[in-house]
Amino acid sequence: MGAFNVVKVERTCPSCNETVELRVQFKYGDTWQYEYRIGDRLRWGGNDTGKPGAKRVVVYGIDEHCPYCGLEEGDYEVWLENDVIVSVQPSTGAYDFVNTQEVYIVVEQ
């Protein structure tokens, strides 16, 4: 994926039941290994990907493996509203990032 950012979410691993910090990589905003949490506002003004200030955006995310059991669940959706991370959820399949080759989709301008 090259340079990316990470959003960290605390949750229970569905495989080993440990409380883990899920790390989801995504490309949006100034893409430079920044680490965010839900509720954070993305930085802009460097290696930018995306459209600053878009109202609602869904960004393609990939999880890093569970540090306890190695589980990798695959694709995630990182939801942004006005450049703030509002949620991170496993991919619903409603947005096709693979065939479109896009790393983000502006849902509402």
- For binding to Zn ion (CB under 5 A), which residues are involved? 13, 15-16, 66, 68-69, 71
Q: How far is the CB of 24 from Zn ion (least distance, A)?
A: 15
Q: In this structure, are residues 36 and 5 in contact, taking their beta carbons and an 8 Å threshold?
A: yes
- Nearer residue to Zn ion within complex by CB, 10 or 96: 10
Q: Select from 48, 26, 51, 46 the least CA-distant residue to 36.
A: 26
- Nearer residue to Zn ion within complex by CB, 72 or 96: 72
3-state helix, strand, coil split of the chain in percent (to 5) is 5, 45, 50
- Nearer residue to Zn ion within complex by CB, 62 or 69: 69
Token reading at 35: 């680490």
Q: How far is the CB of 25 from Zn ion (least distance, A)?
A: 18
Place of tokens 């490309």: 27
Q: How far is the CB of 6 from Zn ion (least distance, A)?
A: 18
